[in-house]
Amino acid sequence: MEKRKKKLKKGIVTDIIVAFVCACATVIIIIFSWFFGSGRSQYSSEPLETIGTVTRVDELKVGDFVIISIPYVTYEAKGATYTTPISRLFDKAQVGDEYEMYYDYLEPYNADVKKSGLSGKFNFWFIVFAVPFVLLFLIPINNIKKKRLELKLIGETTPVRTVIIEKEVSEVRINGVYTHKIICRVLDFVPDMPMEFTSPTLIDEESLNVQIGDMLPVYVHPKNSKYFIMDFENVEAGKGMEEMYQSSN
């Protein structure tokens, strides 16, 4: 499993770099949003004569998940109703809050906080650009956890012996790689683990060479038998049939 360990360690380093880059990008976006996202017009320093009053607060949702609490605020001004994206990370706007109105060339009516007591100057575009980086940051973090668990599993558990009893191989012509599944039978007793199990879809070069009857070690998680690692670096060709014959007698 030395090759596997090196690959996992290299993958962890790569994930750390990706996570660091995404974190830096998010911080840069936050800084730009703070300094340039007040919502006040770049073309007019004088407020309009009217004060807009918040009449409704909505949440921006993707499916069942709320990304941020108040990106859209509906307000009334001069007898008309407007909806504008106003994102604030720290507090929520309340119905009745008053906003000083400024004319904006790009977005004709945008609101700048006057009496609502909200803090920060985050622009709506923070959501558009920062949220993807936050999600990209979470992906390598999750991968790091999985790879560290795999390294720990290899280093602290004793593998069980298994025999390959079925193998199915197919070629994915889109990217030219092989994908296949392997059904194994467990020779050693493992609590809560089925006597036969199917490996996940594999594209490792080492796994392509195994055949029915080969015996190989499998590292099984002590608390969750559904999580296991197949050791294709230490396959004993054809020895599985002999082991099965001896165990049956």
Instruction: Please spell the DSSP secondary structure of 19-49, one letter per residue.
Output: HHHHHHHHHHHHHHHHHH-S---SS--SPPS
Of residues 41 and 238, which shows the higher confidence score? 238
Please report the pLDDT score of residue 13 as a whole number. Answer: 92
Say which residue, 42 or 230, is predicted with more confidence.
Answer: 230
Distances (CA, A) of 206 to 178, 195, 210, 211: 12, 24, 8, 11
For residue 164, give the nearest of 204, 225, 222, 208 by alpha carbon: 208
Q: What does the pLDDT read at residue 78?
A: 58
215-238 burial by CB neighbour count: b if 16+ within 10 A, else e? bbbbbbbeeebeebbbbbeebeee
36 pLDDT above the threshold of 70: no
What's the whole-model pTM score?
0.51
Mean pLDDT across the stretch 189-201? 79
> How does pLDDT run across 43-88, given as a tens digit for each residue?
344 554 455 555 555 554 445 544 444 445 555 555 666 555 554 4
Q: At CA 62, angle to CA 61 and CA 64, rounded to 5?
A: 80
Q: Which residue has the higher pLDDT, 26 or 35?
A: 26
Give how far the C-alpha of residue 27 lies from the chain's centroid of Cα atoms, to the nearest Å. Answer: 19
Q: Is pLDDT of 15 > 80?
A: yes
pLDDT at 238: 79
Q: Is 126 exposed, middle or buried (0-12, 13-18, 19+ CB in 10 A)?
A: buried
Give the SS3 label for residue 191: coil
Quick one: average pLDDT of 122-140? 74
Is the pLDDT at 156 greater than 70? The verdict is: yes
Residue in the block written with tokens 């720290």: 90
The predicted model gives 111-135 an average pLDDT of 56
Q: State the average pLDDT for the chain.
A: 69
The pair of structure tokens assigned to 15 is 């994930």
User: Does residue 220 surpass a pLDDT of 60?
Assistant: yes
**Amino acid 16: pLDDT:** 92
Confidence of residue 25 (pLDDT cuts 50, 70, 90): confident
Residue 165: the pLDDT is 87
Angle 157-159-161 (CA atoms, 0-180°, nearest 5)?
Answer: 160
Query: Which tokens is 55 given?
Result: 């009449």
User: In the prediction, which pLDDT does 73 show?
Assistant: 54
- pLDDT confidence band for 116 (50 / 70 / 90): very low
Give CA angle at 183 (179, 185), nearest 5°.
155
